[in-house]
Structure formats: C-alpha cells, structure tokens
C-alpha cells in the first residue's frame, strides 16, 4: 500500500503520481497501436487496433489518418480502455518498500481518450502529439484521473514498409490530475 494512502479516492499529488504509473504503459501501447493502424491503413480510417492488459482488460485504438502522398501526416485517434490493468504497480521511488497497488482503468462509454499525432518527414523524421481525456479508476485507488499529456520524439523506417516510433526517444510531459492532486509528468519512453 502507499505509505500515505488510506486508499480509495486519489487524495494527493503522491497518489496522482502512483495512479499515473498505472497508465504509463497505456501511453506506450496507444502509440504502438496508432502506428500499427497507420501502417495498415488503406483509407482515411485506420483498421481498429487492440491489445490486452498484462493482467486484465483491453485497449482499443480507432480513428483516422491524413491521406495523400505527403511526407507529413496527422492522425486523430480514440483510445478506449475496458477493465484495463497491467498488474500491480512497481513504484521506482519505493525501493525499500514492496508496494502492491492494484488499479483497474476504464474510459467511460462515448468518452475515449483523444490521441492526436503529427508525423513529419516520414519515415525518418519526428512525431509530436497529445493524449487527453479522463480514465476512471477502481481498485486500491478509485475515481477519475484527468490526463493532459504531450509528447515529442523520433520516428524511423520499421524495415517492413512502415513507420515506427524510435523507443527511448519520446519525451512525455503533462499532468495527471485528480480532484485532490496533480502529478507533473516528465519522462522518456
């Protein structure tokens, strides 16, 4: 358990930080699924992409990509979570304490996260974008967590006639906000 957590609603910046750790992989998976849809698109609509949580639930990405022969493309995607969990949260700031914090994430019906991406100089250029919306948590922490995330990084040819994000090059910044706390995000994926 969180050292300062009575658990329940997110009630502090520390609990907002831990809640964000639970959705950190959602950012990575959303980008991966977005690129998979981009590479598979034969029209403005990308084919729906889906992945399972490590422990439970699913993440689904749908949406549209700009058409045409330009080396610059925009994608307007929707990310839906259903009973999604990657398992107990591993908190790197509590090396001496084993924390077993289980949180399940979902998006409300009709309210997916908005993932907007801009790809420049495809296939070996840059990406930028935002992931914005609200996830609903249940488990050791519950309530709404509002995400307002921006990212920028590099893209590369995937070697199979597609484009991929260069792992480790993407800077992720923004906020994860609950009713009682805000965590400032600043990491690389």
One pLDDT digit (tens) per residue for the chain, 189 residues: 343 444 444 457 878 888 888 888 899 999 999 999 999 998 999 999 999 999 999 999 999 999 888 999 999 999 999 999 999 887 767 665 556 788 999 999 999 999 999 999 999 999 999 999 999 999 988 999 999 999 999 999 998 889 999 999 999 999 999 887 899 999 999
The conformational region for residue 63 under phi > 0 = left, psi -120 to 50 = alpha, else beta, is: left
Long-range CB contacts (within 8 A, 24+) of 160-168: 161/39, 162/35, 162/38, 162/39, 162/123, 163/35, 163/38, 163/39, 163/119, 163/122, 163/123, 164/35, 165/31, 165/32, 165/35, 165/127
139 backbone dihedrals φ, ψ, rounded to 5°:
115, -140
Q: What is the pTM of this model?
A: 0.89
């Amino acid at each position: 358990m969180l050292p300062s957590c009575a658990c329940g609603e997110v009630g502090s910046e520390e609990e907002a930080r831990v809640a964000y750790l639970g959705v950190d992989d959602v950012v990575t998976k959303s980008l991966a699924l977005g690129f998979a849809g981009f590479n598979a698109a034969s029209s403005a609509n990308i084919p729906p992409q889906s992945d399972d949580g490590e422990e439970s639930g699913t993440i689904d990405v749908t949406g549209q990509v700009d058409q045409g022969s330009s080396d610059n493309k925009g994608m307007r995607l929707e990310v839906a979570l259903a009973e999604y969990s990657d398992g107990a949260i591993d908190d790197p700031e509590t090396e001496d304490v084993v924390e077993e914090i289980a949180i399940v994430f979902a998006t409300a019906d009709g309210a997916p996260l908005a993932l907007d991406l801009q790809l420049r100089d495809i296939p070996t250029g840059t990406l930028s974008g935002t992931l914005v919306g609200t996830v609903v948590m249940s488990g050791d922490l519950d309530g709404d967590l509002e995400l307002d995330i921006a990212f920028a990084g590099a893209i590369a040819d995937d070697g199979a006639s597609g484009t991929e994000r260069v792992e480790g090059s993407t800077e992720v910044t923004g906020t994860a906000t609950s009713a009682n706390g805000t965590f400032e995000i600043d990491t690389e994926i």
